[in-house]
Amino acid sequence: MKQKNQWVLFAVLLLALISLSPGEDAAIPQPDRQTGISITPQPKQKTEKEVGNIKVAVSMTPEEFEWLNHINQSFMEEHHVQVELANIAEKDAYHTFKNSLDMGEAPDVLLMDNAWIREFASSGFLLPVEAYYSGQAGADSLSNSVSQNTWNGYVWGVPKDYDPYVVVYNRARLQDLGYTQLPQTSGEWSGLLASYNKNNRIPYLAALDPSDAYAVISLLWRMGGTPGDGKGNGFTLTADMKAAFQQIQEMKSKFYLVNGDSTEEQLTRKRLERGEILFYVTKASSFNGELSPSIEMEKPSSQYDAHVLWLKGRSFCLTAQSRNAKTANAWISEITSSKQQASAYREEGKLPTMKTLYNQPDLKELLPWISAIQSKGRIGSAPVDVKLPDYINRLSSNAVAYLTGTGSLKSFMVSFEHLGQLARP
């Protein structure tokens, strides 16, 4: 009898276990290791990874962002995915991107200044291009953009565009000062300043955004020498560079300081056209190929000893936090295609990074830029270093402080010279 009862009890327990055993779709409460509270997993859902939706953060002008939205809409309709775009103000982009990555809340794709890429890559924030990209922009890119995006033997960004800094001047006002072109030597700059001080018709000698370190560097390179002159790496305080700082000291009260706002840039262009400003250091896209008869832009040159200005470049990067590399690859490939790079140039004046576009008959105006970009002519860039963004920010802060009257010339010069510590052969 006792043995029979044991078999009955065994059968009851077996039935109970079977009834409590989870089916394929059942959910089992599991205690959270930190709180001890049981959490019941939800039924399996289609995740964003499976859907392929991505988020993209860029830093663009309103007009350029509108162009991107138009292309993005077509991409979403064709690929049946959602691509959420966010536009960050240029002055906030670096810190916004870095903070979101630090917090693990970054978008899938970032449009970054090439000067930031090595820092972000070395911090483990990005995925190498080789891990996901299958488009043509990388293979057909100008060598300068690829070298800027390389760290530790890998490429970390897909080049999108260039926006070189230029010096634009009022031709008639320059002739009033006895010059047919901007000075080429330190002595000529001194002569121009002397002539300007005797002239009362030009309210401002130069215009630039002091918070834009690339514009500041371009001005100093234009006045004080070049990386290709055999005298240093571009940030050495040579005799000519020291003279350039001293000349800026003399010009200090005659600067028209631009705040970087698009409305302010338009006002600056108008004042330049009216002859109220002699010259303006800015990005080429600020004029988008539209120069009035009174305005002249220094043309690029492939000469080895030509004056160098900063070559700004941007690239798309995939963050290491992304789970949607396939969609990101398709999206980046579309936005950086030859068709879209040509469109971006026509609409916003950003130079393409694909070599083949510089040989197209309908884009023949691009030809003067190609040799300069490839051979370090009148446009160039400092070697990209992990610490470059920090050094650039210091220079920007010291330039603003000095030109607005709250900082010293010495601090300004030191922050410029420190950039030379990053230079590579």
Query: What is the mean pLDDT of the segment spanning 391-417?
Result: 95
Residues with Cβ within 8 Å of residue 348, at least 6 apart in sequence: 61, 63, 64, 67, 285, 288
Is the per-residue pLDDT at 412 higher than 50? Answer: yes
Is the per-residue pLDDT at 24 higher than 80? Answer: no
The pLDDT value recorded for residue 301 is 66
Angle at the Cα of 46 from the Cα atoms of 45 and 50, rounded to 5 degrees: 150
Task: Report the distance separating Cα 209 and Cα 39, nearest Å.
Answer: 55
Contact call for residues 279 and 193 (beta carbons, < 8 A): no
pLDDT digits (tens, 9 = 90+) for 28-42: 233 333 333 222 233
Residues with Cβ within 8 Å of residue 186, at least 6 apart in sequence: 223, 224, 239, 240, 243, 244, 247
Query: What is the mean pLDDT of the segment spanning 294-322?
Result: 84
Mean pLDDT of the residues in the chain = 83
Q: Three-class SS of residue 223?
A: helix
Please give the distance of CA 401 from its chain centroid, rounded to a whole number: 24
DSSP state of 276: S
DSSP state of 308: P
Is the per-residue pLDDT at 89 higher than 50? Answer: yes
DSSP state of 87: E
Is the per-residue pLDDT at 387 higher than 50? Answer: yes
Instruction: For residue 307, name the pLDDT band (cuts at 50, 70, 90).
Output: confident
Task: Report the distance separating Cα 334 and Cα 303, nearest Å.
Answer: 35
Do strands 158-170 and 309-318 pair parallel, antiparallel, or not at all (unpaired)? Answer: antiparallel
Instruction: For residue 45, name the pLDDT band (cuts at 50, 70, 90).
Output: very low
Cα–Cα distances in Å, from 226 out to 16, 230, 251, 304, 375?
Answer: 84, 8, 21, 9, 13
The pLDDT value recorded for residue 381 is 57
Query: What is the mean pLDDT of the segment spanning 337-355?
Result: 93
The pLDDT value recorded for residue 226 is 58
pLDDT digits (tens, 9 = 90+) for 164-180: 899 999 999 999 999 99
Is the per-residue pLDDT at 9 higher than 50? Answer: no
Q: Three-class SS of residue 56?
A: strand
Query: What is the mean pLDDT of the segment spanning 132-150?
Result: 76
The pLDDT value recorded for residue 305 is 65
Amino acid in position 297: M
The architecture in CATH of the region 164-311+382-422 reads 3-Layer(aba) Sandwich (3.40)
Fold of the CATH domain 51-163+312-376: D-Maltodextrin-Binding Protein; domain 2 (3.40.190)
Is the per-residue pLDDT at 22 higher than 60? Answer: no
Instruction: For residue 193, name the pLDDT band (cuts at 50, 70, 90).
Output: very high
Q: Three-class SS of residue 42?
A: coil
At residue 70, what are phi and psi to the nearest 5 degrees? -65, -45
At residue 86, what are phi and psi to the nearest 5 degrees? -130, 135
Please give the distance of CA 31 from its chain centroid, rounded to a whole number: 46
At residue 161, what are phi and psi to the nearest 5 degrees? -160, 170
Residues with Cβ within 8 Å of residue 381, at least 6 apart in sequence: 114, 115, 144, 148, 310, 311, 312, 313
Domain spans, the chain: 51-163+312-376, 164-311+382-422
Task: Report the distance separating Cα 156 and Cα 158, nearest Å.
Answer: 7
Q: Same CATH topology for 51-163+312-376 and 164-311+382-422?
A: yes
